[in-house]
């Protein structure tokens, strides 16, 4: 049985710490390195000191310390998982291009320029990029697209509810935008032309075919998304609720194991899950 060597970018963030735990406990994966922002106080500390917070044993991982740069991690890994910020992700994509190391990107808030760079680098490096690594959410994306083909804009208004913890910066979330894209694809329209992010600036009734977004940021909610199709006579709600972040982490690790033997290209969780 091959043991996949996985490196982690942003290992001390919320998702990074969950990844450390998952990769350590998974018998098919090992931690091959991790790095953080150079200003972090834990730079140079052993990775085991972080993992010990999650497992009921005193573990040791010789010669594995938290680094301030990613070059060594990329060099020593079969694949690197990145849940950071758009700026850091772009730096990591560059390192992936240099080292030819596959990378799994779960960072949200990426703009069109970021996505274009990822697309270009994927011509020489295999990349999995998804706004949401959850198996359940990716099923929801598929169901939403199929439903929107049947529930036409002439008969059903489409609304997306996006709820996350108070710390989340980007809004709408990457998942909410992907749900919007699923609706748009199902209806053969452009999300950019149909999305409605603010109804306070204009005093007007709803336009036919609009795809609305309602955003909530509060508490420690891991993530909840609901797609509503509403007609004059009925309403259909498609909902996914994440109880914790482990579902995103498990999906990312599955993507990491999947991509290591793939040719260069840009992949999504749809490919990983064979949806």
What CATH code is carried by the domain that includes residue 217? 3.30.360.10
Per-residue model confidence (pLDDT) at position 132: 85
Domain encompassing residue 36? 4-129+245-272
Q: Which helix (H) or strand (E) is 229 found in, with range? A: strand 223-230
If asked whether residues 123 and 162 sit together in one domain, one would say no
If asked whether residues 204 and 169 sit together in one domain, one would say yes
**Angstrom distance (rounded) from CA 106 to CA 119:** 15
Place of tokens 């748009």: 184
Q: Percent of the chain beyond pLDDT 70?
A: 97
pLDDT one-digit tens code per residue, 34-85: 999 998 888 998 888 878 876 666 666 767 899 999 999 999 999 999 999 9
Per-residue model confidence (pLDDT) at position 171: 92
If asked whether residues 54 and 17 sit together in one domain, one would say yes
DSSP state for residue 57 in the 8-state scheme: S
For the chain, how many structural domains are there in total? 2
Q: Is 168 known to be catalytic?
A: yes
If asked whether residues 230 and 249 sit together in one domain, one would say no
pLDDT one-digit tens code per residue, 222-251: 899 999 999 999 999 999 998 888 888 999
Strands 235-242 and 211-217: unpaired
Instruction: Write down the catalytic residue from 21, 75, 165, 168.
Output: 168
The domain that holds 110 is classified in CATH as 3.40.50.720
Global confidence as pTM: 0.80
In three-state secondary structure terms, 238 is strand
If asked whether residues 152 and 211 sit together in one domain, one would say yes
Torsion over CA: 113, 146, 132, 264 (sign): negative
Place of tokens 């969780």: 269
């Amino acid at each position: 049985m091959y043991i996949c060597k996985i490196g982690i970018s942003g290992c001390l963030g919320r998702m990074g710490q969950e990844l450390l735990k998952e990769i350590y406990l998974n018998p098919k994966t090992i931690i091959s390195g991790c790095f953080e922002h150079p200003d972090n106080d834990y730079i140079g500390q052993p990775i085991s000191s972080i993992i010990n917070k999650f497992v009921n044993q005193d573990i040791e991982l010789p010669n594995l310390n938290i680094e301030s740069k990613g070059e060594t991690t990329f060099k020593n890994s079969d694949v690197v998982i990145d849940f950071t910020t758009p700026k850091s992700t772009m730096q990591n994509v560059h390192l992936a291009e240099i080292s030819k190391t596959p990378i799994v990107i779960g960072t949200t808030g990426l703009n069109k320029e970021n996505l274009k760079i990822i697309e270009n680098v994927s011509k020489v490096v295999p990349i999995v990029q998804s706004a949401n690594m959850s198996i359940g959410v990716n099923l929801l994306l598929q169901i939403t697209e199929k439903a929107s083909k049947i529930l036409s804009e002439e008969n059903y208004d489409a609304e997306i509810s996006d709820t996350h913890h108070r710390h989340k910066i980007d809004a709408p979330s990457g998942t909410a935008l992907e749900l919007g894209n699923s609706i748009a694809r199902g209806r053969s329209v452009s999300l950019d032309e149909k999305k409605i992010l603010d109804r306070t600036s204009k005093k007007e009734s709803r336009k036919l075919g609009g795809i609305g977004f309602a955003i909530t940021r509060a508490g420690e909610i891991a993530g909840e998304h609901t797609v509503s199709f509403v007609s004059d006579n009925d309403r259909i709600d498609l909902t996914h609720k994440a109880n914790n972040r482990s579902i995103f982490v498990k999906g990312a690790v599955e993507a990491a194991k999947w991509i290591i033997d793939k040719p260069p290209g840009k992949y999504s969780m749809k490919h990983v899950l064979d949806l």
